[in-house]
Amino acid sequence: MGAEKHELFSDVGRLLVYGTDEPGIVAAITDILSAAGANIISLDQHTSDPDGGRFFQRTVFSMPHLSAELPALEDKLGEALKRFRLDHSLVDASKKKRIAVMASTSDHCVLDLLWRYRRGELPVDIAMVISNHTGLDEDVRSLGIPFFHTPTAGKPREEVEARQLELLKGNVDLVVLARYMQILTEDFIEGLGAPVINIHHSFLPAFIGAAPYRKAKERGVKLVGATAHYVTKDLDEGPIIAQDVIAVSHRDTAADLQRRGADVERRVLSSAVQAHCEDRVLRDGSATIVF
């Protein structure tokens, strides 16, 4: 999942196409790109099953005057892909995704995202950080990023989520739950109209729910891990984007597992956010294609 340096250049586009497979799709797409003067930099294509499976393609291409040409290319692609009844998304790679980060008290995932953002590693603009606690405000604001406090204690969930939606809606392309310890309602997720990525502190589907490190210690596992996934209405069941684990032993207390797991959490979350923002991730039912 290397960051393609070239994609950050201007005049680079990314095209995602997905739907029911049938013969001729790749040729049709590459013909349109070729006729439009695009040069393909990389192309990844996957078919879930050659007999009537699902089709997935990610194409990165360079094209002179891309931003001016994009509407025309969009039209041509739309027309051609309608014939195949395929969905697609065409983006200018120089346009960074706008993201919001939501957090509670743990700082490791938020700080890792902020640090990669500051280094220019993550191709995103962080529009805001929202937390139901104070504590992260200084770290966030010192980078010139707005911090909003939406306390949850003693408040009806609807009121809190309404306030959060007000902040987020229309302003972001992605919401990242960086150890945000509140369950979001289905209404919130639908109302948001943007994907939500969460980091779960276990190698799902092991230790679903709360307190995974304590459960891991009790069960005596020799690995702990983390899982980044899209949030759906089914808690801890959304499509998995990235997972990793580290070896642990009897020497590690539950607190050690938590401390050492934090390293995996921040790494896995940042990697999932990067993949998403480089348009590498396509959903396939309850799973994902990560090109």
Does residue 60 contact residue 4 with C-beta atoms inside 8 Å? yes
Q: Is 286 in the site for its own copies (CB under 8 A)?
A: yes
For position 26 contacting its own copies by CB under 8 A, the verdict is yes
Question: Which positions are catalytic?
Answer: 236
* Range in contact with its own copies (rule: CB under 8 A) among 78-86, 162-170, 189-197, 212-220: 212-220
**Which is it for strands 287-290 and 281-284: parallel, antiparallel or unpaired?**
antiparallel
Nearest in space to 206 (alpha carbons), one of 179, 181, 226? 226
**Cβ–Cβ under 8 Å, residues 115 and 86:** no
Report the DSSP beta bridge partners of residue 284: 287
Q: Does 256 bind its own copies (CB under 8 A)?
A: yes
Closest CB 118 distance from its own copies, rounded Å = 9
Tokens of 133: 């606690």
- Stretch near its own copies under the rule CB under 8 A, chosen from 73-81, 95-103, 123-131, 252-260: 252-260
Near its own copies in 28-47, by CB under 8 A: 28, 30-31, 33-34, 37-47
10 Å CB burial of residue 72 (0-12, 13-18, 19+) is exposed
Residue closest to 3 by CA, chosen among 99, 140, 119: 119
52 binds its own copies (CB under 8 A): no
Q: Is 259 in the site for its own copies (CB under 8 A)?
A: yes
How far is 95 from 124, CA to CA, in rounded Å? 9
Q: In the stretch 261-280, what mask flags binding to its own copies with x, by CB under 8 A? A: --x---x-------------
Per-residue contact string for residues 153-182; x = within reach of its own copies by CB under 8 A: ------------------------------
Length of the chain: 291
Q: Site for its own copies (CB under 8 A): which residue of 115, 146, 182, 232?
A: 115
Q: How many residues bind its own copies (CB under 8 A)?
A: 80
**CA angle 140–142–144, rounded 5-degree value:** 80
Residue of the chain from 86, 176, 198, 252 that contacts its own copies (CB under 8 A)? 252
Choose, by CB under 8 A, the member of 10, 24, 155, 171 that binds its own copies. 24
Distance of CA 96 to the CA centre of its chain: 13
Q: Which is nearer to its own copies, 165 or 221 (CB)?
A: 221
Quick check: helix, strand or coil at residue 245?
strand
- Interface residue with its own copies among 3, 80, 90, 167 (CB under 8 A) is 3
**DSSP assigned state of 7:** G
Query: Closer to its own copies at the Cβ: 59 or 164?
Result: 59
* String of contacts with its own copies for each residue 65-104, x by CB under 8 A: ----------------------------------------
Cα 228–218–263 angle (5° rounding)? 35
